[in-house]
Structure formats: structure tokens, C-alpha cells
């Protein structure tokens, strides 16, 4: 197809896009600005704001080849958002950053699009971020445009099309999910019999299984899950950190980290399980991978008969009540 662009364009498509590894962070800011056609005076005007937003001030005069992937993304986004391009393209790369930085990025992009009148093309599987940032969205499947319109309608279409066989996802040599330390093999959500395609009711005990290999020993590795609704609202978070006190560092080899979700906790709705590999206070190693599942049968409704197909709330735990005459 053809793309027609009117205006200066900046992009953040992968970690390190447009960065020269031998140059320092400061030098790369000027390099990126020059690529966009800005003068040194224009870049210098934004320099302090870029460094402050990135949080890399302590290392701004260090060659970026020594940066972690998280630092790379922080600086790259700060450069792309502050330099004066009319169009900003941001791909899934923000998944590398931590939750606090992602929230700041979404806020900055809202400011850029709403106050400065700049165009942002945001590509993501994070439905919460898409819903917050984009009034209109396009749904793509296999390189084809499926639908375009109101973001909430597009999100509904996305999950309707993705709802089959997504309780188990595998990655192999043809589409690896890996970094220098880790190779992710599979994420699955199964019932107590180990089935991935059974009907899930609210009283079904579930197990999240994460299969992966370590290419070398990793000290203080934390494998965590974030259970969210399909629009990105966080339900619960948990990690295997407490179960691995005696196994640090984790040695090279194959592992399965499993998390049990008790029955009579979730509501009748669709959930997403996002998996993150990180080292606390050091940064994310691998993130952005997920599976989703539907809780389609309501076993117990503590509100009794209601007009709704399910009670309000993103969870519906069975709580103990006691009634006494006063």
C-alpha cells in the first residue's frame, strides 16, 4: 500500500531506534533532533526537559551501549515526545518500561495530542492504554484492516476475535519470545484437570503455568503475573519471588512457574493474564506476553436474583456473612 505523510515524523518502533550505541545519551539526543531537521538551538531548548523526563540524568554522558533496555526506552521516548515532530509513531516498545513510566508516557502522549495538536499513531496490545489515549482505533489481523471506529467497539471486536484458544500460547524458533537471559516457551491457564478448553465457572480453580528457560544464572529473578480485565483494569498481581528464596540465583536450565487462582474469586467476565520477568530495582528482562480467558458461568450470585447476567464488580469473592438480632 501507500502512505502519505504531511509533517515531520518521529518514531519509537523498537528499543534503540535511531540511537548510535557508541554515542552518549546527550549526543544521541542531538543526533535524533538533527535527523528530524531541528537546529541545535531548538534541541538545546528541550534538552533539560528530555533528560528530566527520562530519569537518566545520572548516566546522560555514558555511551548508550551500556544502558539497560529500560533506560534505552526511557530516553528514546523522552526524545521522541519532546522534539518537535508533527507526527509521533509509538509501537509496543513501551511494554519494556515499568508501570510507573508507562503511565507517565500515556500522560505525555495525551498532552502532546490534545494540547499541541500533534498526531500520534499508537500500536499496542494493551487495551487499557489504547482506551485511555485513542478516541478512534483500527483493528488489524494478519496485515489486513478489519475495522476502524470508536475505540471501545474496536476493543470488543478485538477480544471477540481473539477469544478462541487463547488460554494457551506457545513460542518457538519461528517466533521466539526471548532476551539475553530468558527464553519464554509457553503461558497457559488450565483447570484442575489440566484442560485448556473446558468451560470456566466462577467456582473453577485455575492454574497459570509459565514455562521458560534461563540461558545463564539470573540472580533475584522475579516472574510475576498481572490479572486484568480486557480494558486494562488491574484485578490482582502476584509473583513467585516468595517461593524462590532458597533458589537464588536461579541456575541455567528449564523452569515452570505456576500460580493457583482459588475458586469463588472471579466474576463472570473476560480476564487477561500478563506475564513479566524482571529483577527488582534493576529492570524488566522480558514482558508484554499474555493469555486471556473467559469466566462464562456464574455459580454463586451473592446478590440473589438480579436483572444483570452477573453482579457488578471485577471480582465476586464468596464472603462470610453473619446475621444477628440486635
The angle subtended at Cα 194 by Cα 189 and Cα 198, nearest 5°, is: 70
Looking at residue 27, what is its pLDDT?
93
All structural domains of the chain? 9-123 (3.40.50.300), 168-294 (2.70.50.60)
Are 63 and 21 in contact by the 8 Å Cβ rule? The answer is: yes
Are 270 and 229 in contact by the 8 Å Cβ rule? The answer is: yes
Least confident of 97-111, 226-240, 280-294: 97-111
| Bridge-based pairing state of the strands 87-90 and 253-261 | unpaired
* Pairwise pLDDT comparison (167 vs 35), residue with the higher score: 167
- Model confidence at 306, pLDDT cuts 50, 70, 90, reads low
Predicted structure pTM score: 0.60
Closest Cα partner for 199 from 268, 289, 274?
Answer: 268
Instruction: Kindly state the average pLDDT of the residues 287-308.
Output: 81
% of the chain at pLDDT higher than 90: 30
- Model confidence at 23, pLDDT cuts 50, 70, 90, reads very high
Q: Is the pLDDT of residue 136 over 60?
A: yes
Looking at residue 209, what is its pLDDT?
96
pLDDT digits (tens, 9 = 90+) for 189-199: 999 888 887 78
Looking at residue 61, what is its pLDDT?
94
Are 92 and 123 in contact by the 8 Å Cβ rule? The answer is: yes
Whether the bond between 249 and the residue before it is cis, its omega within 30 degrees of 0, is yes
* Pairwise pLDDT comparison (262 vs 288), residue with the higher score: 262
The C-alpha atoms of residue 147 and residue 175 are separated, in whole angstroms, by: 26
pLDDT digits (tens, 9 = 90+) for 227-271: 998 778 889 999 998 776 555 788 999 999 999 999 999 998 889
Instruction: Kindly state the average pLDDT of the residues 312-320.
Output: 90
Backbone Cα Rg of the chain: 22
The C-alpha atoms of residue 234 and residue 227 are separated, in whole angstroms, by: 6
- Model confidence at 157, pLDDT cuts 50, 70, 90, reads confident
Q: For the beta carbon of residue 234, count every other beta carbon within 10 angstroms.
A: 13
Instruction: Kindly state the average pLDDT of the residues 299-320.
Output: 80
Are 125 and 94 in contact by the 8 Å Cβ rule? The answer is: no
Looking at residue 246, what is its pLDDT?
57
Q: Is the pLDDT of residue 161 over 70?
A: no
Instruction: Indicate the length of the chain as a whole number.
Output: 326
The C-alpha atoms of residue 302 and residue 69 are separated, in whole angstroms, by: 47
Looking at residue 24, what is its pLDDT?
93
Are 224 and 278 in contact by the 8 Å Cβ rule? The answer is: yes
Looking at residue 93, what is its pLDDT?
60
Across the chain, what does the average pLDDT equal?
84
Least confident of 32-36, 57-61, 233-237: 32-36
Looking at residue 247, what is its pLDDT?
59
Amino acid at each position: 500500500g501507500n502512505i502519505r505523510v504531511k509533517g515531520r515524523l518521529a518514531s519509537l518502533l523498537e528499543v534503540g531506534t535511531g540511537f548510535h550505541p557508541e554515542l552518549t545519551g546527550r549526543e544521541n539526543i542531538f543526533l535524533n533532533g538533527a535527523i528530524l531537521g531541528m537546529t541545535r538551538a531548538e534541541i538545546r531548548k528541550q534538552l533539560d526537559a528530555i533528560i528530566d523526563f527520562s530519569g537518566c540524568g545520572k548516566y546522560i554522558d555514558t555511551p548508550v551501549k551500556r544502558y539497560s533496555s529500560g533506560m534505552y526506552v526511557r530516553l528514546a521516548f523522552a526524545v521522541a515526545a519532546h522534539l518537535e515532530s508533527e507526527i509521533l509513531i509509538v509501537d509496543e516498545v513501551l511494554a519494556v518500561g515499568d508501570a510507573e513510566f508507562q503511565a507517565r508516557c500515556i500522560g505525555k502522549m495525551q498532552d502532546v495530542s490534545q494540547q499541541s495538536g500533534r498526531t500520534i499513531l499508537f500500536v499496542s496490545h494493551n487495551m487499557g492504554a489504547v482506551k485511555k489515549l485513542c478516541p478512534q482505533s483500527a483493528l488489524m489481523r494478519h496485515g489486513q484492516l478489519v475495522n476502524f471506529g470508536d475505540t471501545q467497539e474496536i476493543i470488543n471486536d478485538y477480544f471477540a476475535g481473539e477469544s478462541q484458544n487463547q488460554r494457551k500460547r506457545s513460542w518457538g524458533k519461528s517466533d521466539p519470545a526471548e532476551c539475553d537471559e530468558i527464553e519464554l516457551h509457553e503461558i497457559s491457564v488450565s483447570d484442575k484437570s489440566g484442560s485448556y478448553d473446558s468451560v470456566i465457572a466462577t467456582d473453577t480453580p485455575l492454574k497459570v503455568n509459565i514455562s521458560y528457560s534461563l540461558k545463564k544464572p539470573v540472580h533475584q529473578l522475579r516472574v510475576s503475573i498481572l490479572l486484568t480485565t480486557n480494558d486494562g483494569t488491574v484485578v490482582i498481581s502476584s509473583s513467585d519471588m516468595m517461593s524462590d528464596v532458597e533458589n537464588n540465583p536461579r541456575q541455567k536450565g528449564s523452569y515452570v512457574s505456576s500460580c493457583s487462582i482459588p475458586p469463588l474469586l472471579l466474576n463472570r467476565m473476560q480476564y487477561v493474564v500478563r506475564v513479566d520477568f524482571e529483577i527488582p530495582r534493576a529492570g524488566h528482562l522480558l514482558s508484554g506476553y499474555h493469555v486471556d480467558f473467559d469466566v462464562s458461568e456464574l455459580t454463586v450470585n451473592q446478590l440473589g436474583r438480579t436483572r444483570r447476567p452477573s453482579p457488578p464488580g471485577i471480582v465476586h469473592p464468596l464472603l462470610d456473612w453473619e446475621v444477628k438480632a440486635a
